[in-house]
């Protein structure tokens, strides 16, 4: 992903200034972005754009869906991000027999000795693997919709309700799900409501020749997946620094002309001939939050049109529904979004 120089005037707010403390926060955000990407690159070859978009999702308090064939280091990528940030990491392997309680946890009857020597029975909540900061939902489409739905409240509200009691998940809670696009047997399509909870749908491609050569050079001496402990990755951004970076995002200005640009793009999806259903107003809000986070990571206190163009495809590709005719013709959602971007006037 190409960083846009901070000196670019297009999209910059006119007549607005930010306090020196805000600019210092943005400098730290850019520094944190650079440090995190360098740390993860020590483990994972390539995927630099995907790493930056995962950081954007984290800062925008969103979630990400990674789509790619097996063997592209998706698990290593997510675990590396968690370790570089010093966040608790949990993995859930989604299978057809997985139950909602296997993810969220459940109340269990617990026996303990009371002060009078009598055995007391108490109900205790046994937390599931969702109670970590960063959750890898591996092969999320391998479990039935009822179990997939166990994530809906957690992803939307960052709480889990068990038997009428709310359990908070924390501000750092983030779900990164993976999906295999080539194996369809034994899988369940993700409902639109579930897809809408993901800020981004990120497609992970094969590495280029030079990157694949470097992968073999680093890891070609072993046949199994490398152990995470072998890399010795240490946190490079503390929790307090992550909170500062999120504060920096809130200082980024989104000009009214760019708000109009976002709304025009979203509304155009509802009128496109190749689409049966377009994006909702939630998509506009999510795109606005994401472009602010991207600008902060690049050290800018304002959004530019290129930020919106960069993030429109990963934000919208899973929120639009192709018409039956477009599906028969093999039209791709990415192509539709790019055509809308080409046809929507850019603010000047």
Please tell me the distance from the alpha carbon of residue 28 to that of residue 11, in angstroms, as a whole number: 22
Q: Are 150 and 290 members of one domain?
A: no
Tell me if 343 is assigned to some domain.
Answer: yes
Q: What is the DSSP letter of 253?
A: B
Mean pLDDT lowest among 131-135, 148-152, 233-237, 285-289 = 233-237
Q: What is the CA radius of gyration of the chain?
A: 22
Structure tokens at 313: 């495809």
Does pLDDT of 4 surpass 70?
A: no
Tell me if 104 is assigned to some domain.
Answer: no
Please tell me the distance from the alpha carbon of residue 85 to that of residue 79, in angstroms, as a whole number: 10
Contacts 24+ apart (CB under 8 A), 325-332: 325/274, 326/274, 326/275, 331/274
pLDDT at 118: 73
**Domain range for 137:** 24-95+132-236
pLDDT at 258: 97
Q: Are 185 and 302 members of one domain?
A: no
Tell me if 339 is assigned to some domain.
Answer: yes
Q: What is the DSSP letter of 192?
A: H
Tell me the per-residue pLDDT of 137-151, one tens digit each, with 9 for 90 and over: 999 988 888 888 888
Does pLDDT of 73 surpass 70?
A: yes
Here the CATH number for the domain that contains residue 193 is 3.40.50.300
Mean pLDDT lowest among 57-61, 202-206, 240-244, 297-301 = 240-244
**Total of domains in the chain:** 2
Strand partners, 117: none
The helix (run of H) or strand (run of E) holding residue 93 is strand 89-93
pLDDT at 12: 54
Tell me the per-residue pLDDT of 98-116, one tens digit each, with 9 for 90 and over: 998 899 988 787 777 767 7
Tell me if 14 is assigned to some domain.
Answer: no
The helix (run of H) or strand (run of E) holding residue 64 is strand 64-67
Tell me if 245 is assigned to some domain.
Answer: no
Q: Are 329 and 205 members of one domain?
A: no
Q: Are 138 and 280 members of one domain?
A: no
pLDDT at 148: 87
Q: Are 284 and 195 members of one domain?
A: no
Percent of the chain with pLDDT over 90: 35
Tell me if 2 is assigned to some domain.
Answer: no
Q: Are 141 and 206 members of one domain?
A: yes
Tell me if 5 is assigned to some domain.
Answer: no
Tell me the per-residue pLDDT of 17-57, one tens digit each, with 9 for 90 and over: 555 577 777 887 888 888 888 888 777 877 788 888 998 99
Mean pLDDT of the chain: 84
pLDDT at 87: 83
Region 265-287: mean pLDDT is: 94
Mean pLDDT lowest among 179-183, 204-208, 229-233, 271-275 = 229-233
pLDDT at 231: 60
């Amino acid at each position: 992903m190409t960083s846009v120089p901070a000196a670019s005037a297009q999209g910059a707010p006119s007549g607005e200034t930010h306090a020196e403390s805000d600019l210092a926060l943005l400098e730290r955000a850019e520094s944190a972005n650079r440090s995190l990407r360098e740390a993860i690159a020590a483990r994972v070859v390539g995927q630099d754009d995907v790493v930056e978009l995962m950081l954007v999702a984290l800062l925008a308090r969103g979630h990400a869906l990674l789509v790619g064939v097996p063997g592209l280091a998706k698990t290593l990528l997510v675990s590396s991000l968690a370790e570089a940030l010093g966040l608790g990491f949990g993995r859930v392997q989604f299978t057809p027999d997985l139950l909602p309680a296997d993810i969220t946890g459940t109340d269990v009857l617990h026996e303990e000795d009371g002060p009078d020597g009598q055995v007391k029975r108490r109900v205790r909540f046994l937390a599931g693997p969702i109670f970590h900061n960063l959750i890898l939902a591996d092969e999320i489409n391998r479990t039935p919709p009822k179990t997939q739905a166990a994530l809906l409240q957690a992803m939307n509200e960052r709480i889990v309700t068990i038997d009428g009691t709310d359990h908070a998940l924390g501000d750092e809670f983030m779900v990164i799900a993976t999906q295999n696009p080539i194996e369809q047997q034994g899988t369940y399509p993700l409902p639109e409501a579930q897809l809408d909870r993901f800020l981004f749908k990120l497609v992970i491609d094969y590495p280029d020749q030079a990157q694949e050569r470097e992968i073999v050079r680093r890891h070609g001496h072993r046949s199994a997946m490398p152990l995470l402990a072998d890399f010795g990755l240490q946190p490079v951004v503390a929790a307090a620094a992550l909170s500062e970076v999120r504060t920096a995002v809130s200082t980024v200005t989104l000009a009214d002309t760019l708000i109009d640009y976002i709304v025009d793009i979203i509304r155009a999806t509802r009128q496109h001939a190749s689409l049966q259903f377009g994006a909702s107003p939630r998509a506009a809000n999510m795109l606005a939050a994401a472009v602010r986070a991207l600008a902060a990571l690049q050290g800018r206190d304002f959004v530019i049109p290129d930020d919106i163009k960069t993030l429109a495809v990963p934000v919208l590709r899973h929120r639009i529904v192709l018409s039956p005719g477009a599906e028969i013709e093999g039209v791709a959602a990415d192509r539709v979004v790019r055509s809308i971007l080409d046809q929507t006037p850019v603010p000047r």
